[in-house]
Chains A and B, each alone.
Chain A
Amino acid sequence: DIQMTQSPSSVSASVGDRVTITCQASQGISSWLGWYQQKPGRAPNLLIYAASSLQSGVPSRFSGSVSGTDFTLTITSLQPEDFATYYCQQANSFPLTFGGGTKVEIK
């Protein structure tokens, strides 16, 4: 199985800050990676697929990138509605696996 190591597990930030979350795959997955946002009591919401493609309706302050097996989700200019937990997920092959999550909290 492909393991996804996500860091940090939590980050404190202020409105307007730039936030970066990383995910490392245990083996090569090309660009087969998705990023999700989850708010308390809600289902996850797909933000980015194929490592860097923005899902329809997602604000452009969210972006994704890849370098080898390292993936990054960047939120530029954090907004109040962005405080949530973020997960990466490898989409290269079954079994599908998620990172452990990153909680973005208000500083």
Chain B
Amino acid sequence: QVQLQESGPGLVKPSETLSLICAVSGYFISSGYYWGWIRQSPGKGLEWIGSLYHTGTTYYNPSLKSRVTISLDRSKNHFSLILSSVTAADTAVYYCARLGAGAAARTMDVWGKGTTVTVSS
């Protein structure tokens, strides 16, 4: 059974860089699937941040592309999110997820529990 767990600092100062890790258990991420990050600002809807394929190919939300990097660490079986130059608007719950395959391609079929990140001085 595949499980995902987000981790990282809960508080980041404005203009600094947010770094999160999604640890994957029950599956070797280098074996397949797309993996991704989604966020949800307080009281708001879901926003896709970006996804990467197990080969390392990445896709990003155009509105965040200049500040986002998603990468894979095969040796640790995790993938990470880096978001630079954060502002209060980046305060959100950040989720990592696996994207399905076949007919379920590009839908998120396994989710982490989410981690809350607050941007404040």
Contacts and interface: CB of A to CB of B under 8 A. Distances in A.
Main secondary structure of the interface of B (DSSP, over half): strand
| Residue in A1, A46, A95 whose Cβ sees the most chain B Cβ within 10 Å | A95
A97 B111 contact: no
Contacts, number: 69
B46 to A, nearest CB: 4
A83 interface: no
A49 B45 contact: no
A44 B46 CA distance: 9
User: In which size bucket is the chain A interface?
Assistant: 20 to 34
B47 A46 contact: no
B11 interface: no
Interface string B75-115: 00000000000000000000100001001111111011110
Contacts of B60: 95
A87 B45 contact: yes
Interface in A18-62: 32, 34, 36, 38, 42-46, 49-50, 53, 55
Contact of B106 (A32, A38, A45, A98): A32
A49 B51 contact: no
Contacts of A98: 45-48
